[in-house]
Amino acid sequence: MCTAGWAQSYRSVSVWSNGKNSDFSLATLDSISLADDNNTVSFYANKTQSVNASDIDSITISVPDVTSTNKKTVSQLKEAFKSVVIETSTFKPVGKNNPLMGHKFGADPWGLVVGDRLYVYMTDDHLYRSTDGKPITGAYDYSDCKKVAIISSEDLVNWTDHGTQPVAGSGAPAAWAGNMWAPCAAYKTINGKQKYFLYFSNNSNGIGVLTADTPYGPWSDPKGGALINHSTANCAGNVVPSVYDPAVLIDDDGKAYLYFGGGTDNLDLADPASARCVQLGSNMTSIVGTPVEIRPPYHFEDSGINKVGGKYLYSYCAHFQTGGKAPGSGNIGYMKSDNPLGPFTFVGTCFENPGGAGWSGGGGNNHHAIVEFKGKYYILYHNRSLKSAMRSSNSDINDNVELRSTCISPITVDTVKAEIKNLTASSITQEGVSQLKNFDPYVKVPGATMAWEKNVTTDYHKSGNTYVCTAEMKAGSWMCLSKVDFQEGPIAFSARVKGRGVIKICTTRPGKLGKDVAYMEVESAQLYKNLTVPLVNVPTGVVNQLYIVSSGNLSIESWSFVK
């Protein structure tokens, strides 16, 4: 008997026998043997197969331009998962697209379109923790929100987490500020360079602004203090109780405007007149003139601004004491103007509070942003659906814990009449929006990119001269991506990763029978390393769901498939 072993750098062996073809992946092939005594060729893999040597027309070995970094055989790597418990239940169900994130919370969303991506900026809702890092049961404190959470997507289903990034407090860019609430963002070319601007609420005491060279930071403070506060003309506490919740608009002529304000303390509930708008300076970090009064009926918080059909649509959240008057308790109303600084005229309700609607549950305030993306309009908003799903398994979560999650739904905007059709709370669904395009696995994919997950967290940290957000996985953790396009056949899987364990790529939910795509051995606990492995099976066409599963403690910085 003559036996030959094959290195995993080979892709496959194709055997033509009696005019029929059989393919064997060399990643799973342990050996090939020729038995002279019975004139057979045997292929030893997961399933041993023998062929009569006299029937073989040809054997072809396919060799891709890739060498495996694995030291163990695939059979040995599979053993790493035998003792791993993989949970399949999720707080954000696989196949449901709302909320946008299942691995963390995020509230008060703002949407910014940059090229082919929609970036979403959010308040960092999280379980309030004591100095020893343990959750405080039943406690939530808005004063603990000091960071901005940023995610982005090309298809509105698979989202990249860019990290929960420091904004306010000691050691943060805006060290003078106590909080980061309700951010909004814009970009503008200044002195030939595209710059990004993040406006945020310092509690209800003022608006700050940060700048960056990318839509996802890192951020710096150009002023060292507030852009607007109660000392700003026409913004004193007796007329604008809360200087917060900014919205920004850059007009067609390049001029920019900021909208903000709210609160009803000692003011007429039906007409508090506590909203303001002001032109920004050409540098986007100063204001021009005195903020102008806007008078939305029953206004409480949450400014939004859109230019539609040559008109300026200002939207806002009403308080809960409207007495049945429009726009209704906790709903989003909107106004219209011919000019960015008004005067604005009330139109009606455009979005009902989703708090009591079906799956979203949980009550609470409303907050929104309307954005045009790839030719359609969407509304971003928050609800408490993830909190509701987690309550039965987490005793730290109860009615007193304020944990909100960002969602997205289509909304109808008449661009001719410059009107927004009211989106009722009963019309929003957990299914959310349809995926706008298939996911490209051949580009460099940031590690913290997912549609669904189980037991995955993310970590924002400096790597070399830049900042990255990584997916942090433990034994049994998994991430899932939707509609991954393998129309061009891949030959290998690459990742930049550290830790100890095995990564498994598969096309069915972990714990169920299905097709394995690749196994990657990771043995670098301290340093991120670039690893590449051949495929166990080659996926073709569009894979509805692709899973990345971990057998140990792993940190994934980026990954891609190799054509």
pLDDT single digits (tens) 165-175: 999 999 999 99
Quick one: 282 and 387 in the same domain? yes
With pLDDT > 70 as the criterion, what percentage of the chain qualifies? Answer: 91
Quick one: 184 and 232 in the same domain? yes
Asked about 302 being catalytic, the answer comes back as no
Quick one: 452 and 527 in the same domain? yes
Quick one: 364 and 485 in the same domain? no
Give Cβ neighbours of residue 132 (< 8 Å, ≥ 6 apart): none
Give Cβ neighbours of residue 253 (< 8 Å, ≥ 6 apart): none
- The average confidence (pLDDT) of the chain is 91
Cis before 218? omega within 30: yes
Cis before 291? omega within 30: no
CATH assignment at residue 547: 2.60.120.260
Asked about 523 being catalytic, the answer comes back as no
Give Cβ neighbours of residue 404 (< 8 Å, ≥ 6 apart): 105, 106, 107, 108, 123, 125, 364, 382, 383, 384, 387
- CA 147-381-311 angle, to 5 degrees, is 110
Cis before 99? omega within 30: yes
In a domain, 152, yes or no: yes
Contact 295, 277 (CB under 8 A): no
Q: Which of 375, 400, 427 is the last residue of a domain?
A: 427
The Cα 460–Cα 384 span in angstroms is 25
Contact 25, 73 (CB under 8 A): no
Quick one: 181 and 265 in the same domain? yes
Residues 214-225, mean pLDDT to the nearest whole number: 98
pLDDT value, residue 4:
34
Which of 100, 117, 4 is CA-nearest to residue 437? 117
Total number of domains in the chain: 3
Contact 345, 336 (CB under 8 A): yes
Helix (H) or strand (E) holding 223: none
What the block records as the tokens of 318 is 């009403």
User: Catalytic residue among 108, 124, 161, 516, which?
Assistant: 108
Contact 524, 503 (CB under 8 A): no
CATH assignment at residue 250: 2.115.10.20
Q: Is the pLDDT of residue 210 over 60?
A: yes
Is the overall model pTM greater than 0.85, yes or no?
yes
Cα-based distances in Å from 237 to 230, 263, 341, 430: 6, 10, 21, 40
Q: Which of 29-43, 90-104, 263-277, 541-555 has the lowest mean pLDDT?
A: 29-43
In a domain, 84, yes or no: no
pLDDT value, residue 430:
94
User: Catalytic residue among 125, 161, 245, 301, which?
Assistant: 301
Half-sphere exposure of 431 (CA within 13 A, CB side): 5
pLDDT single digits (tens) 228-248: 999 999 999 999 999 999 999
Quick one: 380 and 301 in the same domain? yes
Quick one: 38 and 126 in the same domain? no
Q: Which of 392, 427, 462 is the last residue of a domain?
A: 427
Quick one: 242 and 351 in the same domain? yes
- CA 27-29-33 angle, to 5 degrees, is 150
In a domain, 383, yes or no: yes
Cβ burial 334-366 (10 Å sphere, 16+ → b, else e) = bbbbeebbbebeebbbbbbbbbebebbbbebbb
pLDDT level of residue 542 (50, 70, 90 thresholds)? very high
Quick one: 192 and 52 in the same domain? no
Task: Tell the residue number behind the tokens 């230019």, with chain if given.
Answer: 307
Q: Which of 287-301, 371-385, 387-401 has the lowest mean pLDDT?
A: 387-401
Range of the domain at 331: 111-427
pLDDT single digits (tens) 70-102: 999 999 999 999 999 998 899 999 999 999 999
pLDDT level of residue 110 (50, 70, 90 thresholds)? very high
pLDDT level of residue 57 (50, 70, 90 thresholds)? confident
pLDDT value, residue 137:
56
In a domain, 367, yes or no: yes
In a domain, 102, yes or no: no
Give Cβ neighbours of residue 538 (< 8 Å, ≥ 6 apart): 25, 486, 489, 490, 491, 517
